[in-house]
Amino acid sequence: MIVDYHMHLRGSVESGPEPLVHTLDAIERFLEVAAARGVDEIGFTEHDYYFRQTREVWRTPYQLERCLFDIEEYVGAVVAAKERGLPVKLGLEVDWWPGGNERLHELLAPYPWDFLLGSVHWAHDLEIDFQPGLWAVRTRDEVWRAYGDSVAALARSGTIDVLAHPDLAKVFGWLPSPETLAEVEQQIVEAAAEGGVAIEISTGGLRKPVGELYPSPALLRGFHERGVPLTLASDAHVPENVGKDFDGALAFARSVGYDTVTVFDGRQARQEPLG
Contact positions toward Zn ion, by CB under 5 A? Answer: 93, 119, 235
- In this structure, are residues 220 and 188 in contact, taking their beta carbons and an 8 Å threshold? no
114 vs 235, beta carbon nearer Zn ion: 235
Q: How many CB atoms lie within 10 A of CB 142?
A: 16
Nearest approach in angstroms of CB 29 to Zn ion is 17
DSSP 220-250: HHHHHHTT--EEEE--BSSGGGTTTTHHHHH
93 vs 114, beta carbon nearer Zn ion: 93
**In the beta sheet, which residues pair with residue 158?**
none
**In the beta sheet, which residues pair with residue 10?**
20
**In the beta sheet, which residues pair with residue 260?**
273
- Please state, in angstroms and rounded to a whole number, the distance separating the CA atoms of residues 199 and 162: 5
Nearest approach in angstroms of CB 85 to Zn ion is 26
Nearest approach in angstroms of CB 6 to Zn ion is 6
- Compute the residue count for the chain: 275
Nearest approach in angstroms of CB 146 to Zn ion is 17
- Please state, in angstroms and rounded to a whole number, the distance separating the CA atoms of residues 125 and 32: 38
Nearest approach in angstroms of CB 111 to Zn ion is 18
Q: Is 275 helix (H, G, I), strand (E, B) or coil?
A: coil
41 vs 93, beta carbon nearer Zn ion: 93
122 vs 144, beta carbon nearer Zn ion: 122
47 vs 105, beta carbon nearer Zn ion: 47
Instruction: Select from 137, 10, 7, 116 the least CA-distant residue to 54.
Output: 116
Which residues touch 65 (CB under 8 Å, ≥6 apart)? Answer: none
Nearest approach in angstroms of CB 8 to Zn ion is 6
DSSP summary character for residue 37: T
183 vs 212, beta carbon nearer Zn ion: 212
Nearest approach in angstroms of CB 175 to Zn ion is 19
131 vs 255, beta carbon nearer Zn ion: 131
